[in-house]
A and B are shown apart, each in its own frame.
Chain A
């Protein structure tokens, strides 16, 4: 029999109250862990979708392009694509050329952004093209095929297979036009994308803009996001001899997405904090009631020779036992909830439009969690710490009682 054993026995003195408190703490842990893992999964999906359609996990730009979006700031990719693609962890390097242009059909005209791409690698990576049949993709980099947004198609009042003209400013200052044919149609679910996207072969785009061999962006896609820092360093080494270009992370290239995730997670953390404060209040209540009920007993324990510190330690042991047990049960429940959210997810199809947009990217309406064991352990440890913190006041109160005062309690 030692203090920890005595604390454990004391914990079960009022079984129903302990079980209710334990359930509340465990349920809160489960909620916070499952919600975090769900957010982690959704954010990971958004980042994945965002980097594939946008800048990649890392991107190489002319050093002033991100700040100005000046279309004249291109750079020659030379052998950069091959060198970067050879880095361990890089799955694809996507060259892109962005050209502001005017698209015209026989009936309508619209301002658009033409994107010159490598059709083969782009189709493998870009989530907007995942539902596009192979025969609907641009056939080669110099073909006159175009893949256009569904809304733009409607606005230009043309159909797949029909021709339209794009006009853009050539590097020499004159306007150049190209006749393109609608090969495929993209329906991303995002109004801006579907209303302005035109993908063409990269070579055809350079002919139109007069920028032979030049790109605005090399989007680097990684096998795993956590390799970003290591690959970033290697890319910087490769481009080190070319001061006119820079490698940036996806957060720098797509600040809207990064900030949207940060803001969303910050609001979630606030909710987590509220949940944990409620847990702390519950623990204080339970321990304080337990202490107040035992004042007479504490008086006796002190009378027979115990020191106030022994009582305080016993209260902390009670809180620790409660926290540890709740953290264990809560983490088991959190694992079960996460497992369900990973395997099945939350299907929002019936509640939201066909596709969901957040932070400028489209994500799956079936929300799925991703395991984040480090964070799960961390939240469990936080709760144990919080339980100990919540025990401070009851412990101080227990330690302040004198034997005579304590024994007068009824």
Chain B
């Protein structure tokens, strides 16, 4: 069984009286350990698909199953618990909590999981060293560069050892050198830890590094290419 399955999934947004289809009759399976990208131009449905896979939104029709959990059959509370235990998120604009230090931000999901303070701090320090941001633990997000903030966001996503990490345009706000460094880092984590990464991006650098590229256009999958390793 695939880690992620989308069966005949459609998502329609309402804008006043108007219905705007974001995804139409999508079928998709993603295996564990994938390093896949949902590629396509703006408005193609990448973020909507990512939101559905991340259990952040419900489909208008169809079935989304993530790690055996059928979204349509789950309450919001169950979905929150599921996200906490199984899914990590990386956002385009980092979305760190500005009043917390870098280490505290990275510890946030562990705090929600009620992991003891000393254990989570130890784990985060190890992650910071692995991500090359050791020494920045006590800095606030405002005192970090974009690349450093995105590494902290990766640390936050990785800290709880999720099965899937969903990254929405993770390189959009970064210079090319930093972006490439981060992509290499995520690729390494994918290889070493087996964590599944799914990106939404139209950045060529991301698409080049992906093992699988799913092309979206106007809410439809137009191509699904697996890159031979």
Contact = CB atoms under 8 A, between A and B. Distances in A.
Interface in B87-123: 87-89, 91, 95, 97-100, 104, 107-109, 111-113, 117
Contacts of A296: 95
A296 B111 CA distance: 20
A306 B80 CA distance: 6
B83 interface: yes
Given A9-B100, A304-B156, A1 B111 contact: yes
A302 interface: yes
B56 A403 contact: yes
Interface in A1-27: 1-2, 6, 9-10, 12-13
B104 A1 contact: yes
Contact of B77 (A10, A297, A307, A402): A307
A310 B160 CA distance: 18
A310 B80 CA distance: 11
Interface residues of A, number: 23
Interface string B48-92: 000100101100000000000000000011001101110111010
Contacts of A402: 56-57
Contact of B80 (A6, A9, A13, A305): A305
Given A6-B100, A9-B100, A297-B97, A302 B57 contact: no
Interface string A254-289: 000000000000000000000000000000000000
A175 interface: no
Contacts of A403: 56-57
Contact of B95 (A10, A297, A305): A297
Given A303-B83, A304-B89, A304-B109, A404 B156 contact: no
A307 B117 contact: no
Interface residues of B, number: 30
A13 B83 contact: no
Given A1-B107, A1-B117, A404-B51, A303 B56 contact: yes
Given A304-B89, A307-B77, A310-B112, A10 B99 contact: yes
Contacts of A9: 99-100
Interface in B103-162: 104, 107-109, 111-113, 117, 156, 160
7 contacts: A1-B100, A302-B80, A304-B89, A304-B108, A305-B87, A305-B113, A306-B112
Interface of B: 51, 54, 56-57, 76-77, 80-81, 83-85, 87-89, 91, 95, 97-100, 104, 107-109, 111-113, 117, 156, 160
Closest 9 CB pairs of A and B: A305-B84, A9-B99, A300-B95, A305-B83, A403-B56, A307-B80, A404-B57, A1-B104, A304-B109
Given A10-B99, A404-B57, 11 more contacts: A6-B99, A13-B98, A296-B95, A301-B108, A303-B54, A303-B83, A304-B84, A304-B88, A305-B81, A305-B87, A305-B112
